[in-house]
A and B are shown apart, each in its own frame.
Chain A
Amino acid sequence: MGGGWGVANPPEAVMTELDRKQDRAPVPAAWDYAPAPEARDLVELRDRYGLFVGGDWLEPSDVYTTIDPSSEEALAEVGQASPKEVGLAVKAARGAFDNGWSAIAPSERAKYLFRIARILQERSREFAVLESLNGGKPIRESRDVDLPLAAAHFFYYAGWADKLEYAFPNRKPRPIGVAGQIVPWNFPLLMLAWKIAPALAAGNTVVLKPAETTPLSALLFADVLRQAELPPGVVNIVTGDGRTGAALVKHDDIDKIAFTGSTEVGKSIQRELAGTGKKLTLELGGKAANVIFDDAALDQAVEGIVNGIYFNQGHVCCAGSRLLVQESIYEPLIGKLKRRLETLRVGDPLDKNTDVGAINSRQQLEKITELVASGEEEGAEIYQPPCRLPEKGYWFAPTVFTNVAQSYRIAQEEIFGPVLSVLTFRTPDEAVEKANNTPYGLSAGVWTEKGSRILAMAQKLRAGVIWANTYNRFDPASPFGGYRESGFGREGGRHGLEPYLEFD
């Protein structure tokens, strides 16, 4: 068994009694699943993409190449938007806001968003392939999680567009104007949906900058807007690296910035906006504790742990990167976890059987490698299931560290990779103390069959999202966001509208 590309020395074939009776040759005892690739030609890539401004494609002054991180193959050239070009996008957004979008009947705004949702559903497979190609995540995840949720976000917020007075009774909600939105590379299209849907539902117009390494799904999204006949300038998409983002943040005519990304960059944005009066929401990093009590449904808890840290290669702000196990079940749980890791298939993101895909960039791979090395140096014990990783592309094997102390870097710093740090606790109070001992506060997990304990832990854990007997569950109706250095503001639910509205 072991990784998707087989183990170095497969176990010996076994001859059963029946085989002998039937005089058959022994069947190899390993069952290698044949490659099951999703059709890549579902997506038509252009050689070069411009910037989507005012409903049209603007030829960029500078370009860079975006790649497939599983093979380092170049996919396309995309624009590196300059401050001037960012300015044009903001101008288009402002024009669209002043000349119509905010004045269109809310029920008509809703219908545009419903159209976008339906088109995303129709083109779901095409987008899923592109997302895996450009980002490295397994097609099973982009197909079954990213795309359905992205469409659902548009569908959900479409319904609020003409019901704002019910969402905020007696507060007279009004749109704020032009929102600048910067999204990360871990869920490119989904994060775009989390940003654009509520902003548009509330009557705003938008300039969105996708992450440097994952621009393509946002650029394809522009085609969805064309099919939906969204008025030009309502959504503008400018690609580029951190400089483009900085230009957007600094721009005078932006009324609000929404940022999802690292805590470090989030802080610099907050500093930049100080004194400007611009509204800001931040969704930053995390170091979530996944707490397993001794009365948890063990096999399902193991699934939750695995889903918590290896889903999307651990490139998840709310990943359950710290496992807090009650000492009384430490041995059986860790045993089950390590055996479960052996069935994770690391490989080609476009293969339908892949569980763990590629690391998104060389940069991220270096960061993960450095932190993992620090873990070993500081004295933690490392475990990685056997898997053959390819030569090209960015890969990291699923990793578990045991014997981790609270003070180790791997227990404090966000790794943002498929690396789990395991610590123990004896009592619920100790679990709470350790779980809360972090400057972050995005999410936490609790596993126990006892209802009152779930509610007690939920009350005491300082995190914006608490998953009990499950992990990494998202829904457009469910507000998401962090405490403390994990950011402020909520996305999803009725509360997700608030950052995009002004009230009398």
Chain B
Amino acid sequence: MSRLPVKKTYKLYIGGEFPRSESGRTFEAEGANVARGSRKDIRDAVRAARAAFPKWAALTAYNRGQVVYRIAEMLESRRSEFADLSTGVKEVDRSIDRLVWYAGWADKLPQILGSSNPVAGPYFNFTVPEPTGVVGILAPDEPPLAGLVSRVAPAIVGGNTTVVVASETHPLAAVELAEVLATSDVPGGVVNLLTGQRDELAPWLAGHMDVNALDLAGADGQSKELEELAAENVKRVVRGAADDQSPWEIASFLELKTVWHPIGV
């Protein structure tokens, strides 16, 4: 007798928890019913991201690096599951190694981006990078896992919190990644993952007044409209690379602050 498997219910990931969409809707993708997020879910996710931001940003860089490294640890232990949800084991390995790569930047990027500036006067002047706040991300469709990881990792390593609209064609990898995040010591609200119809959700994210930056990696045709909406509160708009890694990807979500102080007895 063959055994009947227990099927998973695919939910959203908001504030460290797994709610269904407040709209009660689902859509079918990759052979499953997946939660279809609504604008109110976006609203809740931004609220959760904002609430989580101060503490995440205030963690030492070392601490943040360790948390991101732990995401890699958890992803590694679920390697074969994710192989089935993406293009295969190579993509999963690339995603794990990318997380490790980004984890290592947390306590180093300020040493590259920041500086002490030799101004012409008796002042100590230094520049430090700081996270911008809540980052809205449209995850790319390809590659299914590595694309998502490549956009989320640089944003959170720098101390930002995120609201991610997952790929519409490959949502299952996103939901499983949410499970990985939930077991990785990532505080609730630092990454919020919504599945649903990108066309429907993206404008609400792009126009939200409490979102500080927008990553259009998965925008795909809608860009102009979204960039116009982003202008309402002068969001930093970034078109991230779908499957690449670079410290400048982290830097695109950082602000630079310069401080002066006199030198004298």
Chain A–chain B contact at Cβ < 8 A: yes
Q: Which residues of A contact B (CB under 8 A)?
A: 107, 110-111, 114, 152, 155-156, 158-163, 166-167, 428, 451-453, 455-456, 459, 476-477, 493-494
Are B65 and A155 in touch, CB under 8 angstroms? yes
Give the residues in chain B near A158, CB-CB below 8 Å. 104
Residues of B with C-beta under 8 A to A162:
101, 104
Residue B108, interface by CB 8 Å? yes
Taken together as a complex, chains A and B put the C-alpha atoms of A428 and B263 apart, in Å, by 13
Report the minimum CB–CB distance from A326 to chain B (whole Å).
12
Report which of A107, A156, A167 forms a contact with B107, defined as CB distance below 8 A.
A156
Q: Which 8 A-B pairs have the closest CB atoms?
A: A159-B104, A455-B263, A452-B264, A428-B265, A452-B262, A455-B124, A456-B263, A494-B111
B105 at the interface (CB under 8 A from A): yes
Within 8 A of A (CB), among B58-91: 61-62, 65-66, 69
**Is the pair B124, A160 in contact by a Cβ cutoff of 8 Å?**
no
Chain B residues in 8 Å Cβ range of A111: 97, 100
Distance, CA A160 to CA B112, complexed state (A): 12
Check if B111 sits within 8 Å of A453, measured CB to CB.
Answer: no
- CA A257 to CA B89, docked complex, whole Å: 43
State the CA gap A368–B264 with chains docked (Å).
39
- State whether the Cβ of B103 lies closer than 8 Å to any Cβ in chain A: yes
| Partner of B97 from A107, A155, A161, A163 at Cβ < 8 Å | A107
Q: Are A163 and B108 in contact (CB under 8 A)?
A: yes
Closest to A156 in B: B107
Closest Cβ neighbor of A475 among chain B residues: B62
A160 and B100 alpha carbons, distance in the complex (Å): 11
Q: Complex formed: what's the CA distance from A428 to B97 in Å?
A: 52
Cβ of A494: which chain B residues have Cβ within 8 Å of it? Answer: 108, 111-112
18 further A-B pairs in the complex, CB-CB below 8 A; given A159-B105, A494-B111: A110-B104, A111-B100, A114-B69, A152-B62, A155-B66, A155-B69, A158-B104, A160-B104, A160-B108, A162-B101, A162-B104, A451-B262, A453-B264, A456-B265, A459-B263, A476-B62, A477-B61, A477-B111
A166 to B102: give the CA distance in the assembly, Å: 13
Q: Determine the distance from Cα of A451 to Cα of B61 in the docked complex, in whole angstroms.
A: 25
Knowing A107-B97, A159-B104, A159-B105, the reply to whether A455 touches B261 (Cβ < 8 A) is yes
CB distance from B125 to the nearest CB of A (A): 11
| B108 touching A477, Cβ below 8 Å | yes
Q: Are A159 and B263 in contact (CB under 8 A)?
A: no
Q: With A and B bound together, what is the CA distance between A475 and B108 in angstroms?
A: 12
Please name all residues of chain A whose beta carbon is closer than 8 Å to the beta carbon of B69 when the two chains form the complex. 114, 155
- CB contact under 8 A between A159 and B262, given known A114-B69, A455-B124, A494-B108: no
Contact indicator per residue, chain B 84-128, by CB within 8 Å of chain A (1) or not (0) = 000000000000010011011111100110000000000010000
The docked-state distance in angstroms from the alpha carbon of A107 to that of B104 is: 10
B247 within 8 A of A: yes
Contacting residues, chain A, for B106 (C-beta < 8 A)? 159
Q: Check B100 against A452 for contact (C-beta < 8 Å).
A: no
Question: Looking across the interface, which residue of chain A has its beta carbon closest to that of B107?
Answer: A477
Contact string, B230-265, partner A, CB cutoff 8 A, digits 1/0? 000000000000000001000000000000011111
Known: A452-B264, A455-B262. A166 touches B100 (CB 8 A): no
How far is it, in angstroms, between the C-alpha of A455 and the C-alpha of B247 when the chains are bound? 31
A110 touches B100 (CB 8 A): yes
Chain A residues positioned under 8 Å from B104 (CB to CB): 110, 158-163
> Distance (Å) between the CB of A464 and the closest chain B CB?
16
B247's closest neighbor in chain A, by CB? A166
* B residues 133-177 touching A (CB-CB < 8 Å): none
B183 smallest CB distance to A (angstroms): 16
- Chain A residue nearest to B97 (CB atoms) is A107
Q: Find out whether the CB atom of A159 lies under 8 angstroms from the CB atom of B65.
A: yes
The residues of A that contact B62 with a CB separation of less than 8 Å are 152, 155-156, 476-477
In Å, the complex CA distance between A163 and B62 comes to 17
Interface contact B100-A493, CB-CB below 8 Å? no
* Complexed CA–CA distance, A156 and B262 (Å): 32
Pick from B104, B111, B261 the residue with the most CB of A within 10 Å: B104
Residues 34-66 of B, flagged 1 when their CB comes within 8 A of A and 0 if not, give: 000000000000000000000000000110011
Q: List 9 A-B contacts (CB under 8 A).
A: A156-B107, A159-B65, A159-B106, A162-B101, A451-B261, A456-B263, A456-B265, A477-B111, A494-B111
CA distance A155 to B61 in the complex (A): 12
